[in-house]
Amino acid sequence: MNFRSLTCLFLAAISLTMAAGCERGPHLGTVKGQVTMNGTPVPFAYVKFQPIAPRGTYGSAYTDAKGVYSLQFSQTRQGALVGKHNVSVRTSKRDEMEVEDKSTGLLVVTQLPSGYKENMQVQYERDVKSGHNVLDFELSQK
């Protein structure tokens, strides 16, 4: 190989290495956790992380029947932007929690914690860091 071919090969290798290390889109941290009330999981609550700084697209999720959530940023990416967030947690209405019982075909409502109120919304402020974040929320009655 001549000098010119080696130079082109070297530059191509560096370009591929740099491209492989770059993320597409904004820097995110994964965010998972559990929403509880009086120590009992809150099913089907809506959790939303709205960035304060830097401002941008929010991450959101619904909790499952065990109160566990995992934020989704877009169709292909999980998490939320790294930085400070206003977090809102909203409980669902009972009719939003009806799930079909596979054995009977009937709609049933998951057991709710004592003191549960429909459409209760609670606000928090939390930081999302690079990497994995576990952020649990305990809802309390006022």
- Structurally, the chain folds into a number of domains equal to 1
Per-residue pLDDT of the chain (142 residues; tens, 9 = 90+): 655 655 555 555 555 544 444 557 789 999 999 999 999 999 999 999 999 977 889 999 999 989 999 999 999 999 999 999 999 999 998 777 777 777 887 777 677 888 889 999 999 999 999 999 999 999 986 5
Domain range for 104 is 27-139
Omega cis (within 30) before 54: yes
Tokens standing for 48? 């939303």
**What CATH number is given to the structural domain containing 78?**
2.60.40.10
Tokens standing for 126? 């939390």
Does residue 70 belong to any structural domain of this protein?
A: yes
Does residue 90 belong to any structural domain of this protein?
A: yes
Residue 124 has what pLDDT? Answer: 96
CB 61 within 8 A of CB 30: no
Does residue 5 belong to any structural domain of this protein?
A: no
What's the pTM value of the predicted model, to 2 decimals? Answer: 0.76
Residue 25 has what pLDDT? Answer: 78
Residue 47 has what pLDDT? Answer: 98
Q: Per-residue b/e over 43-71, b at no fewer than 16 CB within 10 Å?
A: bbbbbbbbbeeeeeebbbbbbeeebebbb
Q: How many residues comprise the chain? A: 142
Q: What angle do CA 22, 19, 1 make, to 5 degrees?
A: 155
Does residue 42 belong to any structural domain of this protein?
A: yes
